[in-house]
C-alpha cells in the first residue's frame, strides 16, 4: 500500500476513533514519525496510565501492549502484529518460573517489565531499565531478592547495588549479540568517541561503556554530553530519534557478532510492526489485547508499586 495513503488513513482513523499511538524507540522510523508519543518502557507505561483516548495502539511488543491493557482494562488496546514477542518474555515460562520461585521461598520477586502478565502476577515488584536500581534500593538490605528474566541486567544491578540477586537465566537476543572485538576496533578508529550501552548488554560490553542506561537515558546522555562521536550499543531504531535530536553528532551503531552484512542490530520482534499493519489494526480494531480479570488483578499490583516508586 502507498505510504502517503497509509499515513493519511492512520491520521483520519485516529481522529475518528479517538485513538492514541504509543511507540517504542525501536520501532521502524515511519511508525515513530506517526506516533503521538515515543518513549522507553517506563515512559510508555506512564503514558498508557494517563491517556484519555478510547483506543491505545501499542507500536511495540506483546508484553508492552499487555501492560497497557492491565493499566487500562476499559480501553481497547491494539498491537499491530500479534507475533511481536520478546526473547526475554518468551524465555520465562510461568510453569518453570513457579518452580524457580518455590526453590527460593524466602525471596521477594522483582521482575523486569519484559515478561508476561503471568510472570508479573507472581512478582512483588516490576521494574524497567530506567528505574531498576531505584526499585532494588528501596528494598531492605536483609531482604533476599529474585531478579528475572534478564540475567545481563541482573548482573549489572548486582554490581550497581552491591547486592546479591538470585538470577533467572534469560537474555535479549539483540543485546547479547554485540561484538566486543568489533566495538573495540571501531573505538580505536574513533578514539574521541563515547560508548553508550543498554544494560541488557553483556558485562564485557558494559565494562567498556562510558554510559549505561535505558533507551531514554541513552538519548539524554548523547544530547547533553559535549562529545561529538558516540557508539550506540542498543537496538538500531533508537538512531532515528537520536539523529533528529543531535543532527550534528556522529552516531555509530555497535556491531553484532554474527551479522557481517548489516552494521547494526535490529530486534526482529519490534520490526514485525509496519505502517500497513498499524493501519489495518486501527481500521479493523484487531488484534486486540485481552487479559482476564483474575490475571489482571494479580499483575497490576507489582506494576502499580513500580509506578508509585518511580
In the stretch 74-93, what mask flags binding to ligand 13P with x, by CB under 6 A? Answer: ------------x-------
* 27-46 footprint of ligand 13P as x/- string (CB under 6 A): -------------xxx----
The contacts of residue 110 (CB under 8 Å, 6+ apart) are 123, 124, 125, 126, 127, 132, 135, 136, 139, 145, 146, 147, 148
**210 known ligand binder:** no
**Alpha carbon separation from 226 to 84, 210, 246, 287 (Å, rounded):** 37, 13, 11, 44
Residue 200, marked binder? yes
- Dig out the grid coordinates for 177 from the structure: 549479540
**Vertex 228: Cα angle to 227 and 231 (nearest 5):** 90
- What, of ligand SF4, ligand 13P, none, does residue 242 touch, CB below 5 to 8 Å by kind? none
* Cell numbers standing for residue 123: 512478582
113 annotated as ligand-binding:
yes
Q: Which of 51, 72, 152, 215 binds ligand 13P (CB under 6 A)?
A: 215
Local structure of 233: helix, strand or coil? strand
Tell which positions 219-238 bind ligand SF4, by CB under 6 A: 235
Judge whether 108 and 144 are in contact, CB under 8 Å: yes
Provide CB contacts within 8 A for 33, sequence distance 6+: none
129 binds, among ligand SF4, ligand 13P, none (CB under 5 to 8 A by kind): ligand 13P
Report the partner that residue 239 touches, choosing among ligand 13P, ligand SF4, none (CB closer than 5 to 8 A by kind): none
Restricting to residues 172-201, name those near ligand 13P by CB under 6 A.
172, 198, 200
Of 38, 48, 88, 125, the one binding ligand SF4 (CB under 6 A) is 88
In 3D space, the residue among 75, 99, 83, 72 whose CA is nearest the CA of residue 296 turns out to be 72
Minimal CA–CA distance to 232: which of 174, 271, 274, 272?
A: 174
Binding mask 105-134 toward ligand SF4 (x if CB under 6 A, else -) reads ---------x--------------------
- What the block records as the C-alpha cell of 149 is 528474566
Between 7 and 264, whose beta carbon lies closer to ligand 13P? 264
Please tell me whether 83 is known to bind a ligand.
no
The item of ligand 13P, ligand SF4, none sharing an interface with residue 214, based on CB under 5 to 8 Å by kind, is ligand 13P
Verify cis geometry, omega within 30 degrees of 0, for the bond prior to 149: yes
Give the annotated binding-site residues for iminosuccinate.
24, 41, 112-114, 129, 198-200, 215
Binding site for ligand SF4 (CB under 6 A): 26, 61, 86-88, 114, 172-174, 200, 235, 267, 269-270
Binding site for ligand 13P (CB under 6 A): 40-42, 86, 114, 128-130, 172, 198, 200, 214-215
Amino acid at each position: 500500500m502507498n505510504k502517503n495513503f497509509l499515513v493519511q488513513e492512520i491520521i483520519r482513523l485516529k481522529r475518528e476513533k479517538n485513538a492514541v499511538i504509543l511507540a517504542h524507540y525501536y520501532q521502524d522510523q515511519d511508525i515513530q514519525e506517526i506516533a503521538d508519543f515515543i518513549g522507553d518502557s517506563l515512559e510508555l507505561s506512564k503514558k498508557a496510565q494517563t491517556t484519555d483516548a478510547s483506543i491505545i495502539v501499542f507500536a511495540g511488543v506483546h508484553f508492552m501492549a499487555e501492560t497497557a491493557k492491565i493499566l487500562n482494562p476499559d480501553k481497547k488496546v491494539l498491537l499491530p502484529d500479534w507475533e511481536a514477542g520478546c526473547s526475554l518474555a518468551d524465555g520465562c515460562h510461568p510453569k518453570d518460573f513457579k518452580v524457580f520461585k518455590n526453590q527460593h521461598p524466602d525471596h521477594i520477586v522483582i521482575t523486569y517489565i519484559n515478561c508476561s502478565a503471568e510472570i508479573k502476577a507472581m512478582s512483588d515488584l516490576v521494574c524497567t531499565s530506567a528505574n531498576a536500581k531505584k526499585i532494588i534500593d528501596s528494598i531492605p538490605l536483609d531482604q533476599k531478592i529474585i531478579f528475572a528474566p534478564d540475567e545481563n541486567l541482573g548482573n549489572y544491578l548486582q554490581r550497581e547495588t552491591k547486592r546479591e540477586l538470585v538470577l533467572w537465566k534469560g537474555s535479549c537476543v539483540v543485546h547479547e549479540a554485540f561484538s566486543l572485538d568489533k566495538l573495540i576496533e571501531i573505538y580505536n578508529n574513533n578514539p574521541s568517541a563515547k560508548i553508550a550501552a543498554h544494560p541488557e548488554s553483556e558485562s564485557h560490553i558494559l565494562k567498556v561503556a562510558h554510559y549505561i542506561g535505558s533507551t531514554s537515558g541513552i538519548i539524554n546522555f548523547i544530547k547533553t554530553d559535549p562529545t561529538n562521536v558516540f557508539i550506540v550499543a542498543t537496538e538500531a531504531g533508537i538512531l532515528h530519534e537520536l539523529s533528529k535530536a543531535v543532527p550534528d553528532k556522529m552516531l555509530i551503531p555497535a556491531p553484532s557478532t554474527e551479522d557481517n552484512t548489516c552494521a547494526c542490530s535490529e530486534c526482529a520482534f519490534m520490526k514485525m510492526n509496519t505502517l500497513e499493519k498499524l493501519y489495518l489494526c486501527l481500521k479493523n480494531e484487531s488484534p486486540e489485547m485481552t487479559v482476564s480479570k483474575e490475571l489482571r488483578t494479580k499483575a497490576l499490583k507489582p506494576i502499580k508499586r513500580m509506578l508509585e516508586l518511580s
